[in-house]
Amino acid sequence: MRDTPYLVVDVDLLEANLAAMAAHARALGVDLRPHAKTHKSVDIARRQLAHGAVGLTVATVAEAEIFAAAGFDDLFLAYPIWAEGPRADRLRALAGVARVRVGADSVEGVRMLAAAVRARRPGAAPLAIAVEVDSGHHRSGCAPERAAEVAAAALDAGLAVDGVFTFPGHSYGVGAGSDAARDEAAALGTARDALTAAGIPCPVVSGGSTPSARAADRDVLTELRPGVYALGDAQQWELGSSGAASIALWACATVVSRREGVVVVDAGSKILGADRPAWTTGFGRALDEPDARIAALSEHHATLALPAGVPAPALGTRLRIAPNHVCSAVNLADALVVESAGVETGVWAVSARGANT
Amino acid sequence: MRDTPYLVVDVDLLEANLAAMAAHARALGVDLRPHAKTHKSVDIARRQLAHGAVGLTVATVAEAEIFAAAGFDDLFLAYPIWAEGPRADRLRALAGVARVRVGADSVEGVRMLAAAVRARRPGAAPLAIAVEVDSGHHRSGCAPERAAEVAAAALDAGLAVDGVFTFPGHSYGVGAGSDAARDEAAALGTARDALTAAGIPCPVVSGGSTPSARAADRDVLTELRPGVYALGDAQQWELGSSGAASIALWACATVVSRREGVVVVDAGSKILGADRPAWTTGFGRALDEPDARIAALSEHHATLALPAGVPAPALGTRLRIAPNHVCSAVNLADALVVESAGVETGVWAVSARGANT
């Protein structure tokens, strides 16, 4: 018996999720390059490659370093890396041990990248970039029409250009997945055409988020980068991307306080994360009480409001709580307890936890 | 030069915050027992004791173990601990090395605590409990009128009773601090009187949150347990508990993407935390751009919307981002970079990071 709260991965559900997305990518005829920021786990990443993934996506140089050290040799840093200071040296070292593609959305950014990897490696193979474009999420990414300008600057500075990418993050809204996939294809098509018109080959056209993956446009995309699909979470359940039955990670929590219609469990924001978009129904979901809602969340308390007529579980009852956003929950834990058919089979380290730089 | 993002503590601002709350508690004539969940740092806890704190408050047995191992010998676990499984053994061991007070809000809970510490220590000094009562936050805590029932059960089971406590968490709302302090005093007064009427001494009447501390009732409370005051955060700024100038912790972040009126910095929810109560104006605040707002937050992106007419900082600019909730941010970091007058003077470990059990 372990003390609660702790995070559990059901390896059978994980495997089913990995197989389903791999089959989807094969059916579309696109490469699958899962985002490892979701799980930060070498064990899960190895399983993704075993299912046919072409490489990994990561968000930071630190994540790339950890996966490269574990033997992963094809990494996409899908982020507009600003390669200044120690990060420049780290990126140069990384590019010596793995095939590295880095995101960029500005001319200044690609010049900084070029300076970083050129400084002490005369004659070395060029670093590859992909131009990030905004497809409607309005976060980072240049306008699709400007992609060729960034790509040309990269070539001028001695970098290679793999192509273009976007993150259609506006897929995170109820019913928004298909429209976001359409926006994604339109932006990526415009960006690809801009490169082609400028005489710059564009072999990689990369998109994808878990809520939009099902509607990804095979005529435009060559690569999909979903992350959350591996483990699932309450957000994906409430978005309809995947059912509650496919959620492969939860916090095991104990009822520590109760009153009429309410129980408090010991899984709070310090194990679930505090993510609570306006379209969610609460701060996560209790898998054993699907009609209940987590009405409030503190650091060590989740306040679970039960539907009328449902008796409150007894003090000491253990409940499975799915976080709203699995990427946040995993990043709070040093390890994930692995179960198969309810029996503990091992523990996986969260090797890239806190790898923010 | 360090790679961003990373958390910085300004030790001079920290010291001023510690001194101010210590002076406030002295002026009220109450004990100060700061909540260490905010900083999870042995270095900061030592400074709190140097300013006169009588001991520490913690949220979990794991936090208590870490602070006890560092020599702190007076600890209040202000949480309704369910002492089952390995936690029972851990609590028993803890009570052997420190003076431990544990929260309880149910008869079942105190019986479990008593069984835990009684099992293998015949004749040992009793564990002390304090009865948690609900003062309006509606999280854990029994009704104040029921406090004597829980206290009597504790005495029956062979535990000591220190008194009563509450967390007036409904102080977290703009202008809500004074009303919450009034509710806190009313609930604690009722609970204390219930114990007294039952012939149970009640030397400890413990309350306090940072937003309500200024209005704490000296005629009722004997002890204050604020946590956030040590470091401050964007929430306290927006609540008016403390000004921006007293915020002693921030993420040092870099501008990685920009467009008209917007910059994106590399401090996202994996370093700031995702806390975003409805009454806040965004997902944190940029201390160098006080009129800007963090309109969106992803794991590695904070999207900072600038007021009309304010030019967007250049790519590569470093900005100080105050998290909404400092307790969440600290729990994401392994270490805090310490600065004095803008010069790095050391690094403090976040010793109790992730100590959720």
- Using DSSP, state whether B132 is helix, strand or coil: strand
- Looking at the partner chain, which of B60, B80, B315 has a beta carbon nearest the beta carbon of A106? B315
Instruction: Report whether B129 contacts B164 (CB < 8 A).
Output: no
The predicted model scores a pTM of: 0.97
Contact predicate A285/A244, CB 8 Å:
yes
* Pairing mode of beta strands A262-265, A302-305: antiparallel
Q: Measuring CA to CA, which residue among B16, B81, B317 is closest to residue A254?
A: B81
Q: Are B97 and B90 in contact (CB under 8 A)?
A: no
> Degrees (nearest 5) of the Cα angle B129, B330, B300?
140
Please report residues of A whose CB lies closer than 8 A to that of B266: 82
At B9, which helix (H) or strand (E)?
strand B6-10
Q: Tokens standing for A169?
A: 């993050």
Q: CB–CB of A147/A131 below 8 Å?
A: yes
Minimum CA–CA partner of B324 in chain A: A274
The verdict on a CB contact (< 8 Å) between A270 and B80 is no
pLDDT tens column, B133-168:
999 999 999 999 999 999 999 999 999 999 999 999
Identify from B37, B60, B112, B140 which residue to disrupt to test chain A contact, counting A C-beta atoms within 10 A and taking the largest count: B140
Task: Using CB atoms, pick whichever of B80, B254, B300 lies closest to residue A257.
Answer: B80
**What are A156-204's pLDDT values in tens digits?**
999 999 999 999 999 999 999 999 999 999 999 999 999 999 999 999 9
| Angstroms from A47 CA to nearest CA on chain B | 24
User: At a CB cut-off of 8 Å and minimum separation 6, what does A309 contact?
Assistant: none
Residue B303: pLDDT band with limits 50, 70, 90 = very high
| Closest residue to A328, CB basis, from B6, B106, B274 | B274
d(CA B69, CA B43): 13
Q: Answer whether the bond into residue B323 is a cis peptide, omega within 30°.
A: no
DSSP-assigned letter for residue A230 = G
Quickly tell me which residue has 């993150």 as its tokens.
A167
C-alpha distances (whole Å) from B82 to each of A103, A259, B65 are 48, 16, 16
Instruction: Give the torsion sign (CA, B322, B277, A294, B212).
Output: positive
Interface test with A, best of B65, B269, B299, B321 (most A CBs within 10 A): B299
Contact state of B37 with A1 under an 8 Å Cβ cutoff: no
Shortest Cα distance, chain A CAs vs residue B40, angstroms: 12
Give the DSSP letter of residue A4. Answer: S
Closest among A119, A78, A126 to A99, alpha carbons compared: A126
- pLDDT score, position B123: 65
Weakest mean pLDDT among B122-126, B227-231, B319-323: B122-126
Confidence check: pLDDT of A357 > 90: yes
**The pLDDT of residue A120 is above 60:** no
- Optimal mutation site among A66, A106, A266, interface B, most CBs of chain B within 10 A: A266
Domains of chain B: 33-230 (3.20.20.10), 235-349 (2.40.37.20)
| Neighbouring C-beta atoms of residue A321, cutoff 10 Å | 30
**Are B356 and A271 a contacting pair at CB < 8 A?**
yes
Separation of alpha carbons B94 and B105, rounded Å: 21
Task: Indicate the SS3 state at residue B153.
Answer: helix
How far is residue B159's CA from residue A76's CA, in Å, rounded to a whole number? Answer: 58
Per residue in A206-265, pLDDT (tens digit) is 999 999 999 999 999 999 999 999 999 999 999 999 889 999 999 999 999 999 999 999
What's the rounded Cα separation, in Å, for the pair B312 and B260?
7
Cβ-Cβ contacts under 8 Å, B169 against chain A: 298
Query: Residue B213: pLDDT above 90?
Result: yes
pLDDT at A122 over 70: no
Question: What are B339's strand-pairing partners?
Answer: B10, B344
- How far apart (Å, rounded) are the C-alpha atoms in residues B243 and B233? 9
Rg (CA), chain B: 21
Closest CA to A95 of A122, A75, A79: A75
Return the SS3 of B336: strand
Report the mean per-residue pLDDT for chain A.
96
**CA atoms within 13 A of residue B66's CA, in its CB half-sphere:** 23
Q: Are A209 and A170 in contact (CB under 8 A)?
A: no
Contact yes or no for A257/B140 (Cβ under 8 A): yes
Cβ B262 vs Cβ B312: under 8 Å: yes
- Give me the mean pLDDT over the B197-226 stretch: 97
pLDDT tops 90 at residue A125? no
Residues A289-320: tens digit of each pLDDT: 999 999 999 999 999 999 999 999 999 999 99
Does the distance separating the beta carbons of A84 and B316 come in below 8 Å?
A: yes
**What is the distance in angstroms between the Cα of B27 and the nearest Cα belonging to chain A?**
30
Longest dimension (CA), chain B: 73
Contacts of A93 in chain B (CB under 8 A): none
Mean pLDDT value of segment A36-49: 98
- What does the DSSP 8-state code read for residue A232? -
Query: How much is the ipTM here?
Result: 0.97
A125 burial type by CB count under 10 A (0-12 exposed, 13-18 middle, 19+ buried): exposed
Supply the pLDDT for residue B59: 98
Query: What is the reported pLDDT for A123?
Result: 65
Tell me what the pLDDT averaged over chain B comes to.
96
Mutation target among A81, A270, A275, A297 for the B interface, most CBs of B within 10 A: A270
Question: Where are any strands of DSSP class E within chain A?
Answer: 6-10, 31-32, 56-58, 74-80, 99-104, 128-132, 160-165, 204-207, 223-224, 249-259, 262-265, 285-286, 293-297, 302-305, 318-322, 335-340, 343-349
Residue A65 scores a pLDDT above 90: yes
Burial A284-305 (b: 16+ CB within 10 A, else e): bbbbebeebbbebbbbbbbbbb
Confidence at residue A9, expressed as pLDDT on a 0 to 100 scale: 98
For A143, the token pair is 């306008």
| Residue A330 pLDDT grade (very low, low, confident, very high; cuts 50, 70, 90) | very high
| Residues B263, B321: Cα–Cα separation, whole Å | 13
